[in-house]
A and B are shown apart, each in its own frame.
Chain A
């Protein structure tokens, strides 16, 4: 029960600058890699890579994988894996597609474009995803079938059940309301985007401040004021800057004209309007915040990480790890449903191959983002950043004209190298046994 020498009673050990600022060096490394990647592509593409249009596109292309990656963090942290997410996405998408184009219009006789169609289709998709996930979790948690096997089976099964659901046909066109969740068809416009950005800033400042006050109340060390202020300023600048970029990407005038016509008006001469924040990105932000709160601030999250760190200890502490497994997979399934909505709305159709290979992208995003396959370690922001890095890499190579096969080779190599660097880093910092 002795402690390390040199930390006698009453004295606080000297803390390094990094520790004082509570900077996550791993996050810093990832941001550095991302910045480098952006820089290279910007130079090679002569600046197009960082154009508002391209940033907008990369952002909306990232959403679907990023949504699922946040759920995959919990799955991997609890020492499981989910290989079925791409197929479950296809299954949810198929259900949403047939509900909106066949069951409701033909079964219930709702006219096309009826307001009820989109919410009903979305709910059906989310429910199917959650149910499939819960079933996978039941097989893994209560029946003890390794999740690798359960979801490998699921990968084959759901892809093909979805095939039968639509009779193998591509389903299009989709409900107009539903298309709003895809990205460019559903953006908030500059005014609302600013409102939300400023709201987010207020909430962020309040959260940072209350966390600091909580620490100070119990007499724990807090960051120096200047450091806290600087970090907050960087965060706010990032939020506002991102909003400004999305707002500066203008909606094409032909499309604007059609929007005015649809409302029975004519577009004034020289009228322009920025896209602003896509609804799909707003969904991702809400999910990211919710998942982070779950991970850090709820019992559920605490139990997920405890179970990943030591399943026996969790069990002996009275945690029902089987039920926890069901919850984690159900949450994953729910997020697959949400991703299915975003994916089919962005592609404006449901096709059989929707979500193909997404399981690998999602797992790669989580792992590049620092989720350890051994369990117990992982962050939500890391997984989202991982998804963003992979999408940027792919888009950038596409812009430069790299062939698709070679793109895949690079992405595969990046995955392995990222994990390799991570292992070296953790060995150095002593975070690994």
Chain B
């Protein structure tokens, strides 16, 4: 379970800032992520967590700051750039096109094509069945638009999309918020499996208990600013709570 943090990090976001009008949604935040590490991103509503990871996934462009993948500075100007660095995102809102079926959603933006350049629906469905067989063997609704799917089923489509395209850096924005107990356990299991494969994962969650169980490190934000980043074995749940609520890092205060 121990993560080797001696080498170059898989990912580093350095001194990132972005403002929407007057709101400083992210204010000089620095975070990093090592291979095989799960970093929990915590903070109250509107702390800037989603905004920070949307900069990483190319949905927003930072006003200032740099992003490094394996020590190399990269430019992420749109979601395609992020994907080309094997950064995959599961959004809080799931970001599925309701009117398309699971396969079309899984391959959206990266369709498999025939030699004539037409989309190859049969092959995409076959691939979707293959990956779903691994992630969610009970999944059957391949022909229906995803509108007809339950929250958990939709979630599994979103996760399958990230896993299928060999993510190295996986961003999960509240992946279990809409899920039942059983489904939440499945996501947790999947996160452990992906971690074992050496992926770096950012996990945004409001469930501190969840985070303590799954993550190697927690990073806390408040009002767009970084409060602190601590290894889970060094802090208690109460420490984290006070970081979230008071915006103070008790360990640093004590030192």
Contacts and interface: CB of A to CB of B under 8 A. Distances in A.
A305 B136 CA distance: 26
A306 interface: yes
B95 A310 contact: yes
Closest 6 CB pairs of A and B: A309-B97, A309-B99, A317-B109, A376-B99, A3-B138, A318-B80
A316 B126 contact: no
B191 to A, nearest CB: 13
14 contacts: A1-B153, A2-B152, A3-B139, A3-B140, A3-B153, A7-B140, A9-B138, A217-B122, A218-B123, A298-B117, A302-B104, A305-B97, A310-B96, A313-B108
Contact of A318 (B79, B180, B187): B79
B89 interface: yes
Interface residues of A, number: 38
Interface string A303-329: 101111110111111111000000000
Nearest to A320: B78
A313 B138 contact: no
B129 to A, nearest CB: 8
Contacts of B4: none
B109 A319 contact: yes
Nearest to A316: B95
B34 interface: no
A316 B79 CA distance: 6
B89 A316 contact: yes
A1 B108 contact: no
Contact of B113 (A217, A218, A219, A299): A299
Contact of A312 (B95, B99, B150): B95
B2 interface: no
Nearest to B190: A1
Interface of A: 1-4, 7, 9, 13, 214-215, 217-220, 293, 297-299, 302-303, 305-310, 312-320, 376-377, 430, 433
B100 interface: yes
Interface string B82-98: 01000001010111111
Interface residues of B, number: 52
B125 interface: yes
A303 B183 CA distance: 30
Specify which of B57, B100, B126 lies most central, judged by the most chain A CB atoms within 10 Å of its CB: B100
Given A1-B156, A214-B122, A314 B186 contact: no
Contact of B126 (A218, A310, A318): A218
Contacts of A376: 97-99
B137 interface: yes
Given A297-B118, A318-B79, A319-B108, A220 B125 contact: yes
B108 A2 contact: no
Interface string B128-146: 0000000111111100010
A376 B95 CA distance: 15
Given A1-B135, A297-B118, A305-B100, A317 B140 contact: no
A306 B97 CA distance: 5
A36 B136 CA distance: 48
A197 B15 CA distance: 67
Contact of A309 (B91, B100, B126, B187): B100
B239 to A, nearest CB: 33
A421 to B, nearest CB: 21
A310 B105 CA distance: 11
B252 interface: no
B59 A316 contact: yes
Nearest to A319: B109
B182 interface: yes
B44 interface: no
A257 B241 CA distance: 96
Contacts of A317: 79, 95, 108-109
B155 interface: yes
B174 interface: no
A313 B136 CA distance: 22
B119 interface: yes
B75 interface: no
Given A3-B141, A9-B137, A316 B91 contact: yes
B147 interface: yes
A156 B93 CA distance: 40
B157 to A, nearest CB: 10
B70 interface: no
A4 B150 CA distance: 9
A7 B150 CA distance: 15
A306 B139 CA distance: 22
Contacts of B141: 3
B230 interface: no
A293 B183 contact: no
B216 interface: no
Nearest to A430: B148
A235 to B, nearest CB: 21
